[in-house]
Amino acid sequence: MSVARRSLLTLFSLFLLPYVAFGQTWDLMRDITPRGYAAGYAQEAPRIDGRLDDAAWARAPWTDPFVDIEGSRRPAPRFQTRAKMAWDSTYLYVAARMEEPHVWGTLTERNSIIFHDNDFEIFVDPDGDNHNYYEFEVNALNTIWELTLARPYKDGGPATHGTNIEGLRSAVHVDGTLNAAHDTDAGWSVEVALPWAGLARYASRPVPPVPGTRWRINFSRVEWQHTVADGVYRKVPETPEDNWVWSPQGIVDMHRPERWGYVQFHTSPPGEATFEPDPTLAARDLLMAVYHAQKAYHQAHGAWASSFEELGLTLDALRADDTRIVTMQTEDNGFVVEARAVLPNGTVQTLYTNQLSRVWTE
Ligand SMILES: *[C@@H]1O[C@H](CO)[C@@H](O)[C@H](O)[C@H]1NC(C)=O
Ligand SMILES: CC(=O)N[C@H]1CO[C@H](CO)[C@@H](O)[C@@H]1O
């Protein structure tokens, strides 16, 4: 064995650990199929009062019950959470129902860090580019926090707090008694109307959405442990929170838009349409597989790999049977990788990603 080769090997084993660690992130995420929901068009707008007794909701199906953020590797949540979606020409509507024997909330200041209380969260990435997305959090007092992520935290963020959407309406209904520890509650429900006009800045596509199109969306519920002291709920400090979500992420990080669910917009009334999966999902997953391998490689070597061989990626490993990687271009400060998807009408769509996990089409 040549000296050069031996030092390469040594280098490789030195850096094997971080390389493997970053690579494992995608291993935990790749087998999760994002959830899908067909949102119907509400002929009659729901009244935003936190009660889900409106005609629009009556026939809208519940989402699957929420699961742990890490998916089936973790125990099922202690309390059930489900959501519904609908839309009309002005708003995207979201409703959620949370079983909860002890409804409490403390934060009353708008745009405070709401997940320090138990909360319900909405994430929206209309164009599925993994960048420039919207986050909303609400506690049982209907105190809200809205923020904008230019990029996921892992790609540098930043998060801009307090980017409140003008005209957004939210309401909470407590099925029980708020902040009263002496009794047992049934739960709480949330109703939110998100104006299309305010979501437009995230969309780079028409709002309201063109019927049939899909937006990336996810919901999360944060649940803390609490004790009761002098008849008052107290959050147990220094304990990890539970994150129960609609579309599992695989890892404890909501800021992986590539694993959020899909909402598809239909013109039929709620409850009639069926969700049609995204024909580009396999190509998107392939791009994310390369992105994760490149990040792992970069952590290990301080440079981007210039070939799939260098990344140890075979087409088999990438499950590239129904997609094709065409090229990967690497430069000093990044890379662009390209994959193709065949749409139902036979059109071939080319998708790209880069070192910041942004996904775009030509
Ligand atoms: C095929 O479908 C895509 C996505 O819906 C659309 O953009 C494209 O125009 C369609 N192409 C043809 C030839 O119908
Ligand atoms: C589990 C998780 O990723 N929670 C995140 C929810 O969003 C807030 C605000 O962006 C983050 O601070 C949390 O880490």
Q: What is the pLDDT of residue 7?
A: 36
Q: What is the pLDDT of residue 326?
A: 75
Residue nearest to atom 6 of ligand 1 (CA): 347
Residue nearest to atom 13 of ligand 1 (CA): 347
Work out whether the CA dihedral 77, 81, 82, 85 comes out positive or negative. negative
Q: What is the mean pLDDT of residues 10-15?
A: 38
The answer to whether 343 touches 361, Cβ cutoff 8 Å, is no
**362 CA distance to ligand 2 centroid (A)?**
31
First-to-last CA distance in the chain? 46
Q: In whole numbers, what is the pLDDT of the chain averaged over residues?
A: 92
**24 pLDDT higher than 90:** no
133-151 residue pLDDT tens: 999 999 999 999 999 999 9
Q: What is the mean pLDDT of residues 253-272?
A: 98
Tokens representing residue 354 in the block? 């880069």
**343 CA distance to ligand 1 centroid (A)?**
8
**277 pLDDT higher than 90:** yes
**259 pLDDT higher than 80:** yes
Q: Give the ligand at the shortest distance from the Cα of 345.
A: 1
Tell me the pLDDT band of 80, cut-offs 50, 70 and 90.
very high
Range scoring the smallest mean pLDDT among 10-14, 138-142, 286-290: 10-14
Residue nearest to atom 1 of ligand 2 (CA): 253
Residues in the chain: 362
**6 pLDDT higher than 50:** no
Q: What is the pLDDT of residue 116?
A: 97
Residue nearest to atom 2 of ligand 1 (CA): 345
**12 pLDDT higher than 60:** no
Tell me the pLDDT band of 321, cut-offs 50, 70 and 90.
low
Q: What is the mean pLDDT of residues 199-217?
A: 97
**275 pLDDT higher than 50:** yes
Residue of 215, 189, 211, 185 lying closest to 200 (CA atoms): 215
Q: What is the pLDDT of residue 322?
A: 62
Tell me the C-alpha to C-alpha distance, in Å, between residue 251 and each of 236, 248, 320: 23, 8, 24
The answer to whether 98 touches 187, Cβ cutoff 8 Å, is yes
- State percent of the chain over pLDDT 90: 85
Q: What is the pLDDT of residue 8?
A: 38
**162 pLDDT higher than 70:** yes
Buried b (16+ CB within 10 A) or exposed e, 161-195: eebebeebebbbbbbbeeeebeeebebbbbbbbbb
Q: What is the mean pLDDT of residues 198-220?
A: 97
Q: What is the pLDDT of residue 317?
A: 64
